[in-house]
Structure 1
Amino acid sequence: MHIETHLKNMPTFETDRLILRRVTVSDLEDVFEFSSDPEVAKRMTWERNDSKEETLANFLQPTMDGYKQGQSGVWAIEYKEIEKVIGTCSLVAWSNEHEKAEIGYVLNRNFWGDGIATEALQEVLEYAFGTLQLNRIEGGCDVDNIGSERVMLKAGMSFEGILRKNERIKGEFRDTKIFSILKCEFDLARA
């Protein structure tokens, strides 16, 4: 079954601290909070958002529209204790033919370093390898983004190498560290 078919009925997940669910327009305030933070946007390919209208037009609306076609694999990360969306975790750039996808995530700076991104990522990996039956998940981060690197390593991903000057971030070509995990490795770690 194609990934798009599954994502049209994208499930909600619950972990000890988090609810992973579809983003909605009511999340605008929370998403704008981290999207407008220059420190959060610093090593991302997107620019920090200057207005809520920009967040709605460039992220929320396209993501919500994409759910209908099975083209959005974006989960809001809601912190249960305060009922606030503090980030997103995504499956992007998937291939049905090659049974693989990329992961992405972003987190409100006030919640960095607490294992939240890893907790969310592990739940998405469980879905990707279990329900979607993917063979490979990969992710990348700027060479200076040590926090993101730690998230992927803690989730069981392995460092593969560096893509040189492959993305333009804030007007500068930057190197990207690439990490991956295979279904057999994920299954072995869970056994």
Structure 2
Amino acid sequence: MGEETAFPVIQTERLLLRETIEQDAEDIFAVHGDPDAMRWFGTDPLPDLAAARGLIKTFASWRLDENPGTRWGIQTRQDSRLLGTCGLFRWNPAWRKCMIGYELAAHAQKQGFMRETLSAVVSWGFEHMALNRIEAMVHPDNLASLKLLRQLGFVDEGCARQAGYWRGQYHDMLQLSLLRNEWPANHLR
């Protein structure tokens, strides 16, 4: 990932996971500028469209960073409008681990899109990044995210006290992880 390569597009049954581009700024801002949608994300809501464009540039820079990662835009295969994003980041190739993060617009929730996305991204990470471990940090009150990760096989490891800071206050975060040998073989291509 440290060199310029074609963006790794992933197709699932219903979704296209692709690079975010400047034309996605309004869709990114619709999610990342929404205080309710960002309450669990770990950052303050974006203030404006310019900040959304900056976030897209940040996502693109991860592919060239010394702690690289990839952030996919999530869309249905029939509509180019972004529903959210999902990324593998803070990749440590020597330790064969990274973190996963994601968000989804309110109108796209409760339709199985994030389950489909996470299944594809986790499989891609184990296969193409030679990962052994994928970590997730989730706010204890984000019950939907915790439920989904646990259903996918992520294991609770404990509480990182006041590990997050956004909206002017500290937040405890639950640490979960998934190991390659815990991921069903039928998920790996």
Corresponding residue SS for 1:26 = helix
Matched, 1:53 2:50: yes
1:67–1:73: 8 Å Cα contact kept in structure 2?
yes
2:123–2:187: 8 Å Cα contact kept in structure 1?
no
Match of 2:29 in 1: 32
CA distance in 1 between counterparts of 2:184 and 2:47 reads 42
Match of 1:183 in 2: 180
Match of 1:64 in 2: 60
Which of the two has greater helix per residue?
1
Deviation of the 1:159 alpha carbon: 1.5
Query: Could you report, residue by residue, the CA deviation over 1:126-184 in whole angstroms, capped at 9, with x for unpaired residues?
Result: 11111222110010111111111122122221122111111112111111111111111
2:69–2:90: 8 Å Cα contact kept in structure 1?
no
Deviation of the 1:114 alpha carbon: 1.9
Question: What is the 5 A alignment of 1:58-137?
Answer: 59-67=55-63, 71-137=68-134
Deviation of the 1:188 alpha carbon: 4.8
Matched, 1:4 2:6: no
> What runs of 5+ residues in structure 2 fail to find an aligned partner?
none
Report the count of equivalent residues: 187
CA distance in 1 between counterparts of 2:61 and 2:92 reads 20
1:113–1:147: 8 Å Cα contact kept in structure 2?
no
CA distance in 1 between counterparts of 2:147 and 2:180 reads 20
CA distance in 1 between counterparts of 2:179 and 2:107 reads 31
Relative to structure 1, the CA distance from residue 166 to residue 67 in structure 2 (aligned partners, 3 Å threshold; closer, same or farther) is: closer
Relative to structure 1, the CA distance from residue 78 to residue 133 in structure 2 (aligned partners, 3 Å threshold; closer, same or farther) is: same
Match of 1:14 in 2: 11
Normalised TM-score (structure 1) = 0.89
Deviation of the 1:68 alpha carbon: 5.1
Percent of aligned positions that are identical? 25
CA distance in 2 between counterparts of 1:82 and 1:9 reads 22
Q: 1:141 aligns with which of 138, 141, 161?
A: 138
Deviation of the 1:187 alpha carbon: 4.1
> What runs of 5+ residues in structure 1 fail to find an aligned partner?
none
CA distance in 1 between counterparts of 2:174 and 2:110 reads 19
Match of 2:147 in 1: 150
The one-letter code matched in structure 1 to 2:87 is S
